[in-house]
Amino acid sequence: MWTRADLKSNAKDVLRKYYWWALLVCFVGGLFSGQGVGELSINFGNIFNLNTNNNDFNSFDKSADFNSFFSSIDWTFIAPLIAFFVILLFFIFVLSITYQIFIGNVIIVGINKYFLEAKKDKSKFSNLFYSFNGQRYLNIVIAMAWKELFVFLWSLLFIIPGIIKGISYSMVPYIMAENPKMRYDDAIKLSMKMTCGEKAEIFVLGLSFLGWFLLGILLCFVGILFVYPYYYATFAELYITLRDKAISNGNATLEDFGIVRALTIEQEN
């Protein structure tokens, strides 16, 4: 049975060797994965001039006739402008979703790959871009896209089902980091097996970092960056623990995690 204290202790042992490299991976990975992107701010002030009966906008107050107010607007000018901004925002939305699917999610798998390799003292910065290899890229894109879609659909049934399913599918990025050839549905099913009976503890583990992230926010948000290596390293330890448990319980095989293939390659070399 794993404990939060054990996972965090093991994570600290790894970070003692790789903390600054891990920090760099989290910083670069955060930029490329789309995390922390600034909000779009559009100022609509002074786009058009409003004319009241007194030709004085300041004379318009809460007691004014709103029908007269809206009828005074030149909609032949405003309507196309509104349509333009709606189309622009829709385009930005589609672009951000596309970026997240084909780049952001793939980078997240690379971040997890880095921390899994750090556990084996084999980590290197290039692991961040591990998923962009042509032989594994498309499969990882598909698996991560389906994972995010399922979580989103469950979230439509209110917040709690989304949280539960988010935890159920949380091991998918790690599974794909170790075995990028696995089908998306198999990865999701395997993640559900690994987290079965563990969801409450995983949820509490995530909550245990809340104080650190709040402290990071108080430090002008910059402090959050220094928390991420600790967070990723701890959840990498969780994945390794759940992986080994699934194998020992017969819920998964070594091949499911690409371990046998990796050992064979090492022996050939």
Q: What is the pLDDT of residues 199-243, one digit of tens each?
A: 999 999 999 999 998 988 887 777 888 999 999 999 999 999 999
pLDDT band of 22, cuts 50, 70, 90: very high
Model confidence at 179: pLDDT above 90: yes
pLDDT band of 43, cuts 50, 70, 90: very low
Q: Average pLDDT, whole number, for the chain?
A: 85
pLDDT for 158 equals: 81
pLDDT band of 61, cuts 50, 70, 90: low
Q: How many whole angstroms separate alpha carbon 215 and alpha carbon 224?
A: 8
Q: How many whole angstroms separate alpha carbon 145 and alpha carbon 84?
A: 29
Please report, for the chain, the start and end positions of each structural domain, with discontinuous segments joined by +. Answer: 4-35+50-268
pLDDT for 72 equals: 62
In a 3-state reduction of DSSP, which class is residue 36?
coil
pLDDT band of 262, cuts 50, 70, 90: very low
Interval 131-174: pLDDT, tens:
998 889 999 999 999 999 999 999 998 889 999 999 999 999 99
First-to-last CA distance in the chain?
36
Query: In angstroms, how far apart are the furthest CA atoms of the chain?
Result: 88
Listed in sequence order, the residues at least 6 apart from 198 whose beta carbon sits closer than 8 Å to its beta carbon are 242
pLDDT for 33 equals: 85
More confident residue, 53 or 212: 212
